[in-house]
Amino acid sequence: MVFSSLLFLLFFLPALFLCYFCIPRRFRAGRNGVLLAFSLFFYACGGVSYLPVLLCSVAVNYLCGLMAAPGRAQAVRRAGLWGAVVLGLGLLGWFKYTGFLSANLSRLGVRLDLPQIVLPIGISFFTFQGLSYVIDVYRGDAPCQRNPFYVALYVALFPQLVAGPIVRYSTVAQEITGREESLSQFSQGAVRFLFGLGKKMLLANAMGEIADAVFAQPPAFMAAATAWVGAAAYTLQIYFDFSAYSDMAIGLGRMFGFHFLENFDYPYIAQSVTEFWRRWHISLSSWFRDYVYIPLGGSRRSPARNLLNLAVVWLLTGLWHGAAWTFVLWGGWFFLLLAGERLVWGQGLARLPRIFRHGYVLLAVMASWVLFRSPDAAYAAAYFQAMLGLGGGTDGQAVYCLLQYWPEWTACLIAALPVKRWLEARLPEEGTGFAAAVRTWFPKLAALALLTLSYVKLASGSFNPFIYFQF
């Protein structure tokens, strides 16, 4: 089940609202029980066989959290910490990387007799979320939760369960037991959710149709203009698809009184690749920074060790996204760019005019998405050749994609810029004038319009993939 589906919008969500808000606010445990039950049901809809994996992850992190809590013997605390790391990453490794390892070993003549392994939905997200809980408890940055149902609610909470954002326990610890829902928060959350839904249905899906049509072709017979249009379409699709899901997750959380941190901050306006990663998938980049990069020594060690730490982080970041060599190369590409900005061309880049810095980031990121989208390295290499004009074919498809989808292209370019933030800064938050009325009512009316258009798209059975399910 995905948020952008009629099953979720017409059945799951209304049933949850009814069961949840019918329980008086003072019965917090009852509301949490409803939320946990619906969250487990939500996950089971993606495959009942995956549910034991999620519950196993919850149990491991709960027990290891108890062991890692301050006040216990240091040996017990370390056992709890490393137990969570080994068992959590072991579970992730078995389901996500065993097939990749087996395939590569078979090329070397080593054959492993393995059963068919199906990747559980969202395992990369809930594994990292559970690990952050145990690590923070060990460090003393978060309280140890002795109620197993509350740990389960934290790990399995349905808004962020399948595709993030990766929520730290310290962010929601007090809200699990003592949050306050209100009509104002519900309204804000609903608007945020509907804007995300519209972003997904009207922008991401349109760009996805173009990207799928282009990337389905052999690059050897692809004109340069077509290759660039396909790369640009996928660049916009992956941003609007993933950020839309984060918007919907944050909005849903707000409806129930949770305040998740932002996951995207207009990354395509970045002036360096370093800045891009401060704006893109913030919860993941901060996770690797706090739990891998800094513990390895960060930038406090020698330049050589600093580079090694950075390489380790980006190797793991690439593998986190997928068990394929294209993801390893994708991580390596960003390692080279970030290392280059830090040691070679960063100062020179900062002196360039803004438009050149922006163009550099867009080209670098677009190239990364070609790697990310390609089924293998050979296809990616051929696609890059097509972008350089070394393929074949004509530009007719590129012209068609630009003309047929020009409203969506225009809307994507506007939505990728902080136009909303710029307008909000110039409209008063309070008052009785026209500007205040616009600030108050326009988002709500726009959200209703987006709901209507999204429903029409859903009812017509239009193209509606979700990229990040694979992670």
Q: Rounded CA gap, 307 and 338, in Å?
A: 10
Which DSSP category does 212 fall into?
Answer: H
Instruction: Give Dmax (Cα) for the chain.
Output: 76
Q: What is the CB neighbour count within 10 angstroms for residue 394? A: 12
User: Of residues 259, 281, 321, 358, which has the active-site annotation?
Assistant: 321
Using CB atoms within 10 A of its CB, is residue 18 exposed (0-12), middle (13-18) or buried (19+)?
Answer: exposed
Rounding to the nearest 10 degrees, give the CA dihedral for residues 372, 377, 382, 387. Answer: 30
Tokens of 302: 């020698």
Contacts (Cβ under 8 Å, ≥6 apart) of 90? none
Whether 321 sits among the annotated catalytic residues: the reply is: yes
CA 144 to chain centre: 27
Answer for the pair 219, 391: CB distance below 8 angstroms, yes or no: yes
Q: Rounded CA gap, 306 and 317, in Å?
A: 16
Output the CA–CA distances (angstroms, integers) from residue 403 to 85, 206, 397, in the order listed: 51, 13, 10
Could you give the residue ranges of the DSSP H alpha helices within 108-223? Answer: 123-139, 148-156, 158-161, 169-178, 183-198, 205-215
Q: Which residues carry out catalysis?
A: 321
